[in-house]
Each structure stands twice: as C-alpha cells, then as structure tokens.
A = this chain, B = another copy of it.
Amino acid sequence: MAVLFERVAIAGVGLIGGSLALAAKRAGLFGHVVGLGRGEANLRLARDRGVIDEFTHDPVSAARGADLLFLAVPVRALAPVVRACATALAPDAVVTDAGSVKGAILAAVEGELPPGVAFVGAHPIAGGEQSGAAHADAGIFRGQVCVLTPGAAATPAATAKVRALWEGVGMQVVEMDARRHDEILARVSHLPHVLAYALMNAIADDTAFTFAGGSFRDFTRIAASPADVWRDIFLANRVALRTALAEVRDAVDAFDRALAANDEASLVALIEAARARKRRCDDGGA
C-alpha cells in the first residue's frame, strides 16, 4: 500500500498507540513515526522494539511538520495535547484519536485546531487490560470494528484518509454520529465497567473470594481496569451512562420483583429474553 502519512506524531505510545504504529508501519502506511510521551522507559522500549523511530517529551518537536497526529492518551489529556501541538502541524494535517467517548472529545478538540487541520474522531474497538508499549501488537485491530465520528470540521478527504488507515490495519470501519456512538458504548462498554466495579464494592468480606469460580473471574476481569482511564470515560459520557444505568436498574428490579413474588414464569421469561439476546450478540449483532 502507498504511504498514507509521511510524518506521524503519536501522542501516547501505549497499547493502542504502539499497536497502531506497528501495524501501520508493517502495512506501509506510515513513513517516519515520532512518539510523544512522558515515561522515558516506555518510549525507549518502544523505540528499541521498532514501534517508533524516535521519541520526544516536547509536543512542538513531535508535531513539527507531521501530517498525522494520532492521539492515544486518556480522554481528558486530548485537548491539552492538541493545543500544544496544533501550530507545529503541517498545514493540511489530519488529527485522529482512539478515545472511547466521542462527543466530548469532538467538542474539546475541534476548538483547538488551526484552519485546514481536520479532526476525524475514531474509536477502534480493540485492546485489553494490558498497557504500555511492551504489549504493542500489530494484530490487535484485525477483524475488529472501528467507529469514525467525523465532526463538522472534517473534510471528506480527511475522513477518507483516516478510514484508509484503519481499514489498512484490518479493521471494519463504520461511520456514525458521535452522540449515537456514545449512547451505544455507554451500554456495551461503560455500563459493564460500572457494574463490575460496583459488584466488587458490594462484596464486603474478602473470604467470599475463596469461593469465586471462573465465571466470577471473567465477569470481574474489567474491574482491574485503570482508574484514570475510566474516570475520564465515565465523566465524558456521563449523560448517556446515567441513562444506561437507569435502564439496567429497571432490568435488575424486574428480577427482584420476580424473586419477591416467587414468580417462576416471570423469572424464566426474563432469563430466556437475556439468553436470546446473548445468542444474537454472539452471532455478531444486527
């Protein structure tokens, strides 16, 4: 494939930033890649592994002449990074990200961009609990879905380049409105994280953990997810998340009412409805 971006600045060379750099280099989509970050050891490791070509702690050096700025930092760090990089970018640069919330990021980032620089929000739905360049893996995107939420200032050309990038690393790209993205992700990602954290907090006595089986460990795997990342996501998507919380509370209350009434038929109906959705989910959604 032809090089899409000659000079790339990657802010945050963690699991996602590092994996995209690796995958895009391997696919011939990136020319020179500069890593921008704070952690010296992580950046050095990324360079030594060939994830990036060089690194810096200085946003202006990283962004100088870059035709792509890829933001792979926690949600609240995005706007400050864009602000610090903006004027050094190439005149027709494209900015994209990998944030799990799109509306708040769009609102925060678009105001920081100079004319001619387009922001095309992206959410590659990939990754895991691991973090850091040490876990960068070119294969994590393949076959997964990436949502693009181009904002008002995104040109069709910029959106097409960002689409080509994510498709080039093997993702299935879907464009949608940022608000709709946030409503969906509130339900299939942010809500399960709240429930997993809440379940851990509801278990007052550690002795119980001795009797936790494999299903509990799978269910609470995401309760290990880092606080800074999820604080930002929860707050940036708080309106949709609170709506989703109210919906799951209603769904839990339906079980509680059936239990209170010893109502077998309702209980079976609730379980079978959930199982039917689970089967449709495992079949890949609608």
Instruction: Report which A residues bind B (CB closer than 8 A).
Output: 125-128, 144-145, 147, 174, 181, 184-185, 187-189, 191-228, 230-231, 234-235, 238, 241-242, 244-245, 247-252, 254-256, 259-260, 262, 264, 267-268, 270-275, 277-282, 284-286
- Most chain B CB neighbours (cut-off 10 Å) among A204, A220, A231, A252: A252
Q: Are B231 and A264 in contact (CB under 8 A)?
A: yes
The residues of B that contact A218 with a CB separation of less than 8 Å are 218-219, 221-222
**Do A203 and B216 form a contact, CB below 8 Å, given A198-B255, A210-B286?**
no
Q: Other than the known A209-B286, A224-B278, A238-B259, what 10 A-B pairs have Cβ atoms closer than 8 Å?
A: A184-B207, A189-B212, A191-B199, A193-B215, A200-B278, A206-B281, A212-B285, A219-B219, A241-B259, A242-B260
**Do A185 and B202 form a contact, CB below 8 Å, given A242-B256, A249-B249, A259-B238?**
no
Question: CB within 8 A of A201: which of B196, B254, B279?
Answer: B254
Tell me, in angstroms, the Cα distance from A125 to B215 when the chains sit together: 10
The residues of B that contact A272 with a CB separation of less than 8 Å are 227
The 27 listed contacts between A and B (C-beta, < 8 Å) are A126-B213, A145-B210, A184-B205, A185-B211, A188-B203, A189-B216, A192-B219, A192-B220, A196-B219, A197-B271, A201-B254, A202-B244, A202-B251, A207-B286, A208-B285, A209-B284, A209-B285, A210-B285, A218-B219, A219-B221, A220-B278, A223-B277, A224-B275, A224-B282, A235-B264, A238-B260, A242-B260
